[in-house]
Amino acid sequence: MNAEGNTPATATAIIGQKVLPGKEREYESWQEGLNAAAAGYPGFLGAEISAPTPLQPDWVVVYRFDSVAHLQAWINSGTRQTHLDAGAQYFDGPATQQVVSSGVRPPDPLVTVVVTHRVPPDRTDDFLDWQRRMVQEESRFEGFRGTELFRPVEGLQEEWTTLYRYDNAEHLDAWLTSPERQAILAEGEKFSDFGLRTIDNSFGSWFAFEGDDEEAPPPPSETRTSLAVWVGLYPTVVLLSLLLAPAHMPFWINLLVGNLLSSFVMSFLTMPYYVNPLLGRWLRPPPDEPAARNNLRGLGIVAGTMVFWAVVFYLVTVRVWTLP
């Protein structure tokens, strides 16, 4: 449950911000500029923007750096403060911030709940015992994917941070509203000063690079994400079209059935067994790999793969078999 070890500690900051109604587009453009400024700082690994959803009422930005020191340098920088001053016109109240530091991956892209607790130093042992009981109880609920507990980060955050994950919003809500959770919260009444935030990302398990059936977050670049989906979608759609062609269905039914099948094939076959192994290093490059070389290599793989599929499908559909 506790993310500790001898591996180098990465650092993740999760920042939530309410935005004034009607200012969403201006805020998003401003936030993209702020993320671009963060990319110029040492140790930057990536940044993601998540728009509000029914589970997540705030805009949420996740920053990842290769160390606490580098994250702290960015958080406390004059550059960031200048951007914050300029963006204050879009904010509806102060932002919230949670920081976690570990040698493991940041929150996965399913449904992640971030809970922060202020714990007096003399209550640490009691708090850890209470958290263990909480985990034992929540692990019995359907859809539970795991939990991680992070100690306070000196110089950045005084709170303890807990991340726990479920496979979908319905299973998460079943736990949050359960009598079992209410009973555990009542037991830990002295730790009732806490904040809770839910992060619900798109793309689900399409971009999972960790072993042992564990999830990893989506790639930080939307362009890379789009190209990776393209690499998987093209052969999937063409192959399904070839399979469905003999049925001679009307065009609108063909698309209806084809889109349904392609969604399942992409989620359970194409992305985990073809795209992720092929492009994993490009989508999630090692921190010590030069960005230019990694990008050139990844784009080369994308181009080569798409040329290969184009040639194969040209030969199949023009030289071997002409579609009706």
5 falls within a domain = no
Alpha-carbon span 112 to 141, nearest angstrom: 15
Residue 217 lies in a domain: no
Is residue 196 domain-shared with residue 228, that is, in the same domain? no
| pLDDT above 70: percentage of residues in the chain | 79
Q: What are phi and psi of 122, to 5 degrees?
A: -80, -5
Tally DSSP H helices, then E strands, for the chain: 10, 8
* 46-100 residue pLDDT tens: 888 888 877 667 888 888 888 878 888 888 788 888 888 888 899 887 777 777 7
Pair 231, 284 in one domain: yes
pLDDT reported for residue 49: 85
Q: Give the Cα separation of 158 and 202 in Å (integer).
A: 30
Q: Could you tell me which residue, 307 or 165, shows the higher pLDDT?
A: 307
9 confidence band (pLDDT: 50, 70, 90): low
Same domain, 177 and 266: no
Give the model's confidence band at 18: pLDDT under 50 very low, under 70 low, under 90 confident, else very high. confident
126 and 237 in a single domain? The answer is: no
Domain stop point among 148, 173, 206 = 206
What is the predicted pLDDT for the residue at 289?
66
Whether residues 136 and 268 fall in one domain: no
In a domain, 215, yes or no: no
Residue 195 lies in a domain: yes
> Which helix (H) or strand (E) covers residue 63, if one does?
strand 59-65
Cα-based distances in Å from 125 to 120, 122, 150: 10, 8, 14
Within-domain flag for 211: no
- 29-43, 45-59, 190-204: which is most confident: 29-43
Q: How many CB atoms sit inside 10 A of residue 10's CB?
A: 23
| Count of structural domains, the chain | 2
> What CATH number did the domain enclosing 72 receive?
3.30.70.100
Q: Does some domain include residue 103?
A: yes
Cα–Cα dist 134/152, whole Å: 19
Q: What is the pLDDT of residues 206-226, one digit of tens each?
A: 444 444 444 444 444 567 778
160-166: strand order across its sheet: 144-150, 160-166, 111-117, 194-200
CA distance 250 to 66: 53
Of 236, 219, 231, 207, the C-alpha closest to 303 is 231
Task: Return the pLDDT at 268.
Answer: 80
For the ranges 59-73, 143-157, 279-293, the one whose mean pLDDT is highest: 59-73
| CA dihedral over 121, 77, 115, 286, signed as positive or negative | negative
Chain Cα centroid distance, residue 114: 13
Report the pLDDT value the prediction gives residue 220, as an integer from 0 to 100.
47
Please list the residues that pair with 49 across neighbouring strands.
Answer: 61
Highest mean pLDDT, choosing among 118-132, 142-156, 181-195, 200-214: 118-132
Residues 188 and 226 in one domain: no
Average pLDDT of 275-295?
76
Could you tell me if 303 and 244 lie in one domain? yes
Tell which wins on pLDDT, 105 or 40: 40
Do 80 and 101 touch, CB atoms closer than 8 A? Answer: no
What CA–CA distances, in Å, run from 83 to 86, 107, 265, 289? 5, 26, 43, 29
pLDDT at residue 6, rounded to an integer: 43
Q: Residues 232, 183: one domain? A: no
Q: Report if residue 179 sits inside a domain.
A: yes
| pLDDT, tens digit (0-9, with 9 covering 90-100), for 101-136 | 654 444 444 677 778 887 888 888 888 888 888 888
What average pLDDT does the chain have? Answer: 78
pTM for this prediction = 0.45
Same domain assignment for residues 175 and 279: no
* Predicted pLDDT at 231: 92
53 and 80 both lie in a single domain: yes
Q: How many angstroms from the chain centroid is the CA of residue 266?
A: 18
Distance separating alpha carbons of residues 168 and 204, to the nearest angstrom: 10
pLDDT at 109: 47
Q: Give residue 301's domain range.
A: 222-320
34 plus 169 within the same structural domain: yes
Buried b (16+ CB within 10 A) or exposed e, 125-159: eebeebbeebbeebeebebbbebbbbbbbeebbeb
Q: Are residues 16 and 118 in the same domain?
A: yes
Boundary-marking domain end, from 206, 235, 257: 206
Does residue 164 lie in a domain region? yes
What is the structure's pLDDT at 308? 95
pLDDT at 287: 56
Taking each helix axis as running N to C, give the angle between helix 251-265 and helix 222-244, from 0 to 180 degrees, rounded to the nearest 10.
Answer: 130
> Is residue 149 predicted with pLDDT exceeding 60?
yes
Given 206, 236, 265, the domain boundary residue is: 206
Categorize the per-residue pLDDT at 193 as very low, low, confident or very high, splitting at 50, 70 and 90: low
What pLDDT does 194 receive?
Answer: 65
